[in-house]
Amino acid sequence: MISARNQFEGKIKSLKLGAVMAEVIIDVNGMEIVSLISRTSAASMDL
């Protein structure tokens, strides 16, 4: 299930993969959003 509150249209500006986590920086209309997700989630979304 995808939450409507967690959907932003933007462009991935930076992706840093760690051993367990991934840091994703997204540009949304000039504003940067930083998200920490599991490395498994990043791989499942083909980031």
pTM reported for the whole predicted model = 0.80
Domain range summary for the chain, segments of one domain joined by +: 9-44
pLDDT tens by residue, 1-47: 566 677 888 999 999 999 999 999 999 999 999 999 999 999 999 99
Measured CA distances, 15 to 3, 8, 36, 42, 44 (Å): 22, 16, 10, 9, 14
- What is the per-residue pLDDT for 41? 93
What pLDDT is attached to residue 46?
A: 93
CATH architecture of 9-44: Beta Barrel (2.40)
pLDDT score of 36: 94
